[in-house]
Structure 1
Amino acid sequence: MNFLKKNGPGLLFCLMIAVPSWFLGKAVPVIGGPVFSILIGMVLTLLIRQKDTVQPGITYTSKKILQAAVVFLGFGMNLTEILAKGRQSLPIIICTISTSLIIAFILYKALKLDPNNAILVGVGSSICGGSAIAATAPVIRATDEEVAQSISVIFLFNVLAALIFPTLGGLLHMSNEGFGLFAGTAINDTSSVTAAAAAWDGIHASHTLEAAAIVKMTRTLAIIPITLALAIYGERKEKKTEGSSFSLKKTFPYFVLFFILAAVVTTVFHLPVSVTAPLKELSKFLIIMAMAAIGLNTYIVTLVKTGAKPIFTGFCCWVGITGVSLLMQHFMGIW
């Protein structure tokens, strides 16, 4: 009862934002529910003077509900099927992820970018957009404003990719197989991958959507090593600064362990689509709900004033990933 009394109003408030955002995301998938949710939250926080009653629930949603969303994401991953069908794309995925992280690190040093912004934009660009940011943010202890800014950057280049890539693929005379790999490796968010692949299928009367989605799911598995590596690095750095010993037990992001367990359960027990599909949808809805909380904790004026460097970093990561994906396909003879 104390939990509901403390967090209930804020949870309900975030839920009220998440429901219309969910439907808006369904109506305009190239933008997606999380972006609508953040925007509504940021507008409302400008209008609401006192948030004392709802603030505890908003904080709980932006932290705990976000982690729960990542766990439920694991139920949508049959590891055997993903690795069997996505095996061909692994070299390209490894190269694009490495490229994005290297570019983000270089620009972090060159532009004196906030380290959390650099990590979130680099990881979000290279793995799976909002889901990767949702998994990484608790590990690096990112603020809600840093998360909102990173999601906004990823959204911008998601939309551009969904609009440009089908035409670009046609100009480059890509095969259907090649475009499926291109969309799956060079576009970071599932909704935009789907939008681009569906547009290609409509133009070329092909069936690349399923292939692109499988490649995208294969990329999503990179959440596991990336979050673990960041957790260990962050803890080692903190312990070195404080002069104390390193503790893996304290470092380990346990919600990522539950994400892995969910994927293992799906794989071992061959959970049917009738079970996994609702859990995947629940994961998406919880992310939208968490983004509402993040929007409510973010002031849009500050976001605009500090946005130039993250946007430039996102642009460079996007261009780098696109170029490497095309080059790798060319060298592998897939194009």
Structure 2
Amino acid sequence: MGREHDSNVRAKKEASVSFPFRWIAGVLFTFFIAFLGFMLTFIPGFSYLGQLATAIIIAIIYSQIFGYPEFLRPGITFSSKVLLRVAIILYGLRLNIHTVLGDGLGLLAKDMIVIAFAILFTMYLAKVFKADKTISLLAGVGTGVCGAAAIAAIAPIIKAEDEDTAISVGMIALVGTLFSILYILIKPFLPLTDIQYGIWSGMSLHELAHVALAAEPAGEDALAMALLAKLGRVFLLIPLSFIIIFIVKRTGRFSKGKQQITFPWFLLGFVMMSVLGTFVFGKSIPVSENMMNGIYSISTWLLTAAMVGLGLSVNLQSLRTKALRPFMAMLITSVLLSVLAFIIL
């Protein structure tokens, strides 16, 4: 009995001593897969998927073949939890509040319609299809607002499991990429000016990267309007998050009973960085464009590493059982959202 006790104590001490190494190795492992995803984007075909989606695919495949690397769990968990929130905070720098409120108020009203439709219709179809409600909500938010960043912001509020978050991000990446390519292909046949096409892309596509991919062939003016329309949707993530917090607290939906939810303080960081990027950086504090682009790149790498951490927790068996119906709901919503955005241009 004493020998068994000594063995347990020794095991605990070994785990404690090795923790820093396991933590560092786990974080580096997520960045390594993120780097592999980045390198694959130089290969034709993968470039359309983008670094984030490619890295998630690698992480999921690795997890299915080799299993979850338990030894690296502390660092992987750190990436999927902490780095994810840091990435969302830095993401706020991309949002220029003055541009959205000064030049895009009309677009902002249309963006509200787009977001409300995407979330409510996805949830309606989820009910019809008897789909997983958590994945469906995350997919609806990602479709309506700004893809992976929106999913990452909402997931802690509704206490989504890592696997559900990763599944939702994967679906958004896949559908958004396919839609952006389809938009480019059908552009010559649409009765739209370049500017109208840009606005349509910004109002209906999923990620900022998808919007840029689809709108860039239409010219700089079209791309600028597309990004403005998209930034309006990013801006609306702020009030949307607080609306969902209110609903979860009042109804207990997406949680076990009417339990207290932890306030997502990182959203305040997102707002603060938006304010700094809009009113301080480049004005009171001189910041070069190269430095801002560097910060954008850091946020992209952090978000990719975080999504790798989530992707490593995906089980393909549950993906088949849990994701098919939410995927169908999101796909149908995405098609109808494109039609709606076209109508309200």
Counterpart for residue 233 of structure 1: 247
The aligned residue for residue 257 of structure 1 is 268
Q: 1:169-248 counterparts in 2 under 5 A?
A: 169-201=187-219, 207-238=221-252
Gaps in structure 2 of 5+ consecutive residues: 1-15
Q: Give the Cα–Cα distance (whole angstroms) in 1 for the partners of residues 33 and 136 of structure 2.
A: 28
- Alignment equivalent of 1:304, drawn from 320, 325, 329: 320
Partners of 1:200 and 1:107 in 2: CA distance: 34
Does structure 1 retain, via aligned residues, the 8 Å contact 2:89–2:270?
A: yes
Q: Output aligned runs, 1:135-174, within 5 Å.
A: 135-174=153-192
Which residue identity lines up with residue 210 of structure 1 in the other structure? A
Equivalence for 2:66: 48
Contact 2:251 2:258 in 1 (8 A): no
Task: State the match for 1:82 in structure 2.
Answer: 100
Kept in 1, the 8 Å contact 2:135–2:323? The answer is: no
**1:129-157 per-position Cα deviation (integer Å, ceiling 9, x unaligned):** 11111111122111122122212221232
Counterpart residue number, 1:23: 39
Deviations 1:59-116 (A, max 9, x none): 2211111111100101222211233232331222111111111101212322222221
2:298 aligned with 1:287, yes or no? no
TM-superposed deviation, 1:301: 3.2
Give the TM-score normalised by structure 2. 0.85
Which stretch shifts more, 178-187 or 167-176? 167-176
* 1:243 Cα offset (Å): 6.8
Gap change, CA 1:20 and 1:243, over 3 Å in 2:
closer
Shift of residue 210, structure 1, vs aligned partner: 1.9
- The answer to whether structure 1 residue 4 and structure 2 residue 4 are counterparts is no
Q: Structure 1's 41 and 167: CA in aligned 2 closer, same or farther, altered over 3 A?
A: closer
Give 1 or 2 for the bigger CA radius of gyration: 2
Q: Is the 8 A contact 1:181 1:211 kept in 2?
A: yes
Whole-Å Cα distance in 2 between the matches of residues 60 and 327 of structure 1?
Answer: 44
Residue 324 (structure 1) aligned with residue 335 (structure 2): no
Letter in 2 for 1:257: L
**Paired position in structure 2 for 1:332:** none
For residue 3 of structure 2, what is the aligned residue in structure 1? none
C-alpha distance in structure 2 between counterparts of 1:8 and 1:213, whole Å: 37
CA distance in 2, matches of 1:25, 1:128: 21
**Cα distance in 1 between the residues matched to 2:324 and 2:316:** 14
Letter in 2 for 1:298: V
User: C-alpha distance in 2, partners of 1:283/1:304?
Assistant: 31
After TM superposition, give the deviation of residue 49 of structure 1 in Å.
4.6
Alpha-carbon distance in 1 for matches of 2:153, 2:40: 24
Give the counterpart letter for 1:113 in structure 2: A
Relative distance call for 1:304 and 1:231 in structure 2 (3 A) is same
- Identify if the C-alpha distance between structure 1 residues 243 and 90 changes in structure 2 by more than 3 Å, giving closer, same or farther: closer
For the aligned residue pairs, the C-alpha RMSD in angstroms reads 2.4
**Partner Cα separation in structure 1 for residue 309 and residue 214 of structure 2:** 29
**Change in 2 beyond 3 A, CA 1:10/1:109:** same
Higher RCO (CA 8 Å, separation ≥ 6 residues): 1
TM-score normalised according to structure 1 size = 0.88
Q: Check 1:220–1:242 CA distance in 2 against 1; reply closer, same or farther (3 A cut).
A: closer
Query: Aligned pairs, how many?
Result: 321
Read off the aligned partner of 2:320 and give its amino acid letter: V
Structure 1: 5+ residue runs without aligned partners?
330-335
